[in-house]
Amino acid sequence: MKMNDNRSRLIEIAEGSVQRSGLKALSFRTLADEVGIKSSSVHYHFPEKSDLARTLIEQYRDKLFVELNGIATSGGSLRTQFLAFVDVFGGTAQDNRVCLLCMMASEFAALNASNQVLLANVFTNLENWLANLFDSRREELATQLSSQQMARLVMSGLEGALLIDRVMHDSERLDTQKTALLQLMK
Residue 169, C-beta contacts closer than 8 angstroms, at least 6 positions apart: none
**Please, which residue, 39 or 156, has the CB nearer to DNA?**
39
Q: How far is Cα 33 from Cα 37, in angstroms, rounded to an integer?
A: 6
Report angle CA 6, 8, 14 to the nearest 5 degrees.
95
With DSSP H G I counted as helix, E B as strand and the rest as coil, what are the percentages for the chain, rounded to 5? 75, 0, 25
Instruction: Kindly list the distances between the CA atom of residue 124 and the CA atoms of 13, 15, 45, 52, 148, in Å, as whole numbers in the listed order.
Output: 26, 21, 28, 21, 10
Question: In the window 34-53, what residues touch a copy of itself (CB under 8 A)?
Answer: none
Rg (CA), the chain: 18
Question: In the window 37-76, what residues touch DNA (CB under 7 A)?
Answer: 37-41, 43-45, 47-50
Q: Is 32 in the site for DNA (CB under 7 A)?
A: yes
Q: Convert residues 63-102 into a mask of x (bound to a copy of itself by CB under 8 A) and - (unbound).
A: ---------------------------------x-x---x
Q: Is 152 in the site for a copy of itself (CB under 8 A)?
A: yes
Q: Is 158 in the site for DNA (CB under 7 A)?
A: no
Interface contacts to a copy of itself, rule CB under 8 A: 20-22, 24-25, 96, 98, 102-103, 105-110, 116, 119-120, 123-124, 143-145, 149, 152-153, 155-161, 163-169, 172-173, 176-177, 179-180, 183
